[in-house]
Chains A and B, each alone.
Chain A
């Protein structure tokens, strides 16, 4: 049950995850995959077979755009956030925070409260990211 719950959480937050990482800086597929893995303390392994269809979908939605670059000696396709992608990210982040807040309210008194430093957390990771949206 736990595995399925995690898969559902991951599936529901993939867009938000990729958009938030591209908001930091442009990335290519492999680097994005590694960043997700590192940021999640190896808890989230996003398979390439899932990552690339997702990137193409987000690009066709107009939230990210891509460009080829060979300046590093290797031909890579880089992705960066568009203006509408930033709006989408802000909207999804607000929805996520509302959802998390609601669930947290439900869990109060039932389970121990989360650490005070965790303003924003990747799902299924203990890493906190201050600043938020």
Chain B
């Protein structure tokens, strides 16, 4: 006998009780829960009607349908897991998207963030100097008095042989807080495109200016102080330019003659014109009262000031010192 159950789908209490339990254990949104329950309800009723058509008793049909569905709690959990897995994946995709945006944002921030210029070298007391094209080519004006004091100070280090000119100057001057400039024009004018490697210096206690004199002279180079900056030139170029300076020294008359003789015979002897010779382009020494007027190149002026220092006589110069070009260590300007 075939039994036809004409009750509406929602009126089979066993099914509704089962579906209520499933719904209670579903962990989805309210709308999703209702959809899932509606789908299961449709399945249960269709199977139920099919079993009745096959001649199953109502009670058996209901129990068979519920048995096929299995434990309501477990079914709810499996349905929740099946849907949540994708929800989690969607969340992970959002998380991945947010992480990529964050990384891109950080890259852009760092790209545009103000930062110290890459090509700068910090020298003490000199401020920032561009490393390109060369630290020796771009200089910052320095305090002439401070530079003079530095030149009279010990070099404070040993310098190995074989350094390039600029490396030597970086170590000898840069590390002592002195700016320098290489007059490349003077080197080119002398036909010297490259200066041979510099010699070594092994005495940290030596005065900086002494080291400069000896090491640079080995390579036919000279130096002078201009506006507190050590200008390195070719020796011949430096010697061509004569400057005039007054040296006031409190000496007696016969002491003056001795001093002039010592100067002529010890400071670049070949650079002075002979007595009675005038109008040449060689150096001159004129004596007036308590001072001498010396006309010669800067190298000679520098050596002269050092000579006066060594003689331990009080002296004072005008002319070059006022221009910030030269000053004696013992000079009382």
A residues with a Cβ closer than 8 A to B are: 28-30, 33, 47-50, 52-54, 56-57, 60-61, 74-77
Contact B75 A52 (CB under 8 A): yes
Residue in A closest to B81 when the chains form the complex, CB atoms: A53
Contact A60 B70 (CB under 8 A): no
29 A-B residue pairs with CB within 8 Å: A29-B39, A29-B42, A30-B42, A30-B43, A30-B46, A33-B43, A47-B68, A48-B43, A48-B44, A48-B68, A49-B74, A49-B75, A49-B78, A52-B39, A52-B43, A52-B79, A53-B75, A53-B81, A54-B82, A56-B79, A56-B82, A60-B82, A60-B86, A61-B86, A74-B42, A74-B46, A75-B38, A77-B35, A77-B38
Name the contact of A47 in the complex, choosing from B69, B82, B83, B86 (C-beta under 8 A): B69
Contact B78 A60 (CB under 8 A): no
Name the contact of A60 in the complex, choosing from B36, B75, B85 (C-beta under 8 A): B85
Q: Roughly how many angstroms separate A53 CA and B71 CA in the complex, as a whole number?
A: 13
Chain B residues with CB under 8 A of A75: 38, 42
Contact B47 A30 (CB under 8 A): yes
Q: Roughly how many angstroms separate A29 CA and B68 CA in the complex, as a whole number?
A: 13
Q: Roughly how many angstroms separate A75 CA and B196 CA in the complex, as a whole number?
A: 98
Contact B78 A76 (CB under 8 A): no
Q: A48-B47, A76-B42 are in contact. Are A53 and B82 (CB under 8 A)?
A: yes
Chain B residues 48-105 with CB under 8 Å of chain A are 68-71, 74-75, 78-79, 81-83, 85-86
Residue in A closest to B71 when the chains form the complex, CB atoms: A49
Q: How many residues of B contact A (CB 8 A)?
A: 23
Contact B83 A56 (CB under 8 A): yes
Chain A residues with CB under 8 A of B69: 47-49
Chain B residues with CB under 8 A of A33: 43
Chain B residues with CB under 8 A of A56: 36, 79, 82-83
Chain B residues 19-57 with CB under 8 Å of chain A are 35-36, 38-40, 42-44, 46-47
Residue in B closest to A28 when the chains form the complex, CB atoms: B42
Contact B42 A52 (CB under 8 A): no
Chain B residues with CB under 8 A of A53: 75, 78-79, 81-82
Q: Roughly how many angstroms separate A48 CA and B50 CA in the complex, as a whole number?
A: 15
Residue in A closest to B38 when the chains form the complex, CB atoms: A75
Q: Roughly how many angstroms separate A13 CA and B70 CA in the complex, as a whole number?
A: 21
Name the contact of A57 in the complex, choosing from B35, B38, B75, B82 (C-beta under 8 A): B82
